Structure 1
Amino acid sequence: MTETPKVASQAPLPAPPLERVAVFIDYQNAHLSAREAFLPWGSPTSDGHIDPCAYAQALVGMRKRPSRLLSVRVYRGRPDPRHEPGAAGANDRQAAVWQRNGAVVCRRPLRYPHDWPDLPAREKGVDVQLACDVITEAMTHQVDVVIIASRDTDLIPALEIVRSRRLAHVETASWDGSSRICFPGEGQPWCHRMDETAYEAIRDRRDYTKG
């Protein structure tokens, strides 16, 4: 009687390691871009906000490689209470909720022109701080991937440094129908695009105007 040859059992392949992901959100850029893409013209300025932690979790969930969200960092301006006490209070309450949910919120004072309020206040130094923190975070080698949620092309030099020195893998995020950050002459870095359904799922619908 012929014996059936025995097949050596194979040990299961080890699971690929989780990639550690840090998400950096240029908040004003991401928020206004979402309003332009998905909300009707003339919607209240307080409408359409994004929950940073939910946004970051959704971005990590869109990755094809096993991933773990390591940190969420949000960059935005802060109104001056002397000029806009109501807006400053809402901004503070919003930042406090986001921080309790696990985000790091980095705010810089808005710059008010001499003819304010005829001309609006503007953010100053927010993109520079974001760029510096992306490089600093990547240099620690505590993260494998950085995702930048912004369309601001001023951030490209910082992303080029991270990529050229192989400090971390670089990805970006934008909305369907919106522009994206690209290295000159390339289709990179990879951009995670969210449609309106995904946007509705990560909106922050809390009313921060009430103290």
Structure 2
Amino acid sequence: MALTMAVVIDYQNVHLTGASLFLPGRPYEEGLIDPYRFACQLALARNAKVDDAGRHASVERVEVFRGLPIPEDDPDAYRRNQAQKSQWERGHHGVVDVTLRPLKYTWEYRDGVKTPVRSSRREKGVDVLCALALVDLARSGHYDVVVLASRDTDLAPALDAAARIGRSKVEAAKWFDPASSWTMGRIRTEKRIRGASCQGAREIFSVPHVGMPAKRVGCREAFLTRMLWWTSGRALGIWAA
């Protein structure tokens, strides 16, 4: 019997890191992470490295949290984000859920009209939503494995809280490239964390521009030298080969 697996994705964190590694020098919007493909690759990477008495993990739930430009600032980006949400959820009803949280802005008056300052826009509260989702999924008892995909070290307390519930194996994943020192390091939790590196960059990118058919961005063979870094909030031994 397969292990049920839920994945919480801090979208901008995962997207910007992946695009920097796999599509250097290209606009970030040219290569977006397909959340369901990404989660399935995490499951494949985990299954290749973790021995759970012969039981493989199967993706049953993907919760995605992403900042959303407001239409007063960038109507085109607003429409693209909404279209991408619909595309990613389509065909995965009840499995993939994308939450878009409006970005925060500083406002100023221009010619008497209150206007958002684009350079000031930032995500606010997405990390809190990720933390709440992680703990809720771990508490639900519906999933054997709950994974957080993010490099945000502020989410360490959420990993600890989810692990203390004791109903699920709580783990974390992030992009890791041994040639890029900025991708190194781990989210430090209360218990000792062991990690493993594994290949996992194949077929997770898409280009869902509005008005254009979505397509995969083929990962070059060099991409396969990139790594995903796994850690376990319950000190589960996950070792590299």
Same fold (TM over 0.5): yes
Q: Deviations over 1:178-198 (max 9, x none)?
A: 23543248662646654xxx4
Task: Give aligned pairs, total.
Answer: 191
Q: Secondary structure at the match of 1:167?
A: coil
Change (3 A) 1:118 1:138: closer
Q: Deviations over 1:126-159 (max 9, x none)?
A: 1101101111111110111111110001111011
- Look up the match of 1:11: none
Distance 1:74 1:118 in 2: 24
| 1:45 positional shift | 3.1
Q: Give unmatched runs, 5+ long, in structure 1.
A: 1-16
Q: Deviations over 1:66-95 (max 9, x none)?
A: 112110111101111111100000000000
Query: Which residue of 182, 187, 191 corresponds with 2:187?
Result: 182
Query: Which residue of 5, 8, 32 corresponds with 1:49?
Result: 32
Greater fraction strand: 2
Q: Secondary structure at the match of 1:82?
A: coil
Letter in 2 for 1:30: V
Query: Which residue of 79, 103, 119 corresponds with 1:110?
Result: 103
Q: Secondary structure at the match of 1:32?
A: helix
Matches within 5 A, 1:84-163: 84-102=74-92, 103-114=96-107, 117=117, 119-163=119-163
Change (3 A) 1:138 1:33: same
> CA contact under 8 A between 2:70 and 2:102: conserved in structure 1?
yes
> CA contact under 8 A between 2:73 and 2:118: conserved in structure 1?
no
Letter in 2 for 1:203: F
Letter in 2 for 1:199: A
Q: Percent identity?
A: 34
Q: Secondary structure at the match of 1:183?
A: coil
* TM norm structure 1: 0.81
- Look up the match of 2:43: 60
> CA contact under 8 A between 2:23 and 2:31: conserved in structure 1?
yes
- Look up the match of 2:24: 40
1:25 aligns with 2:9: yes
Q: CA RMSD in A?
A: 2.3
> CA contact under 8 A between 1:24 and 1:134: conserved in structure 2?
yes
Letter in 1 for 2:19: R
- Rg comparison, structure with higher value: 1
* TM norm structure 2: 0.72
Letter in 1 for 2:88: W
Q: Give unmatched runs, 5+ long, in structure 2.
A: 109-115, 178-182, 214-241
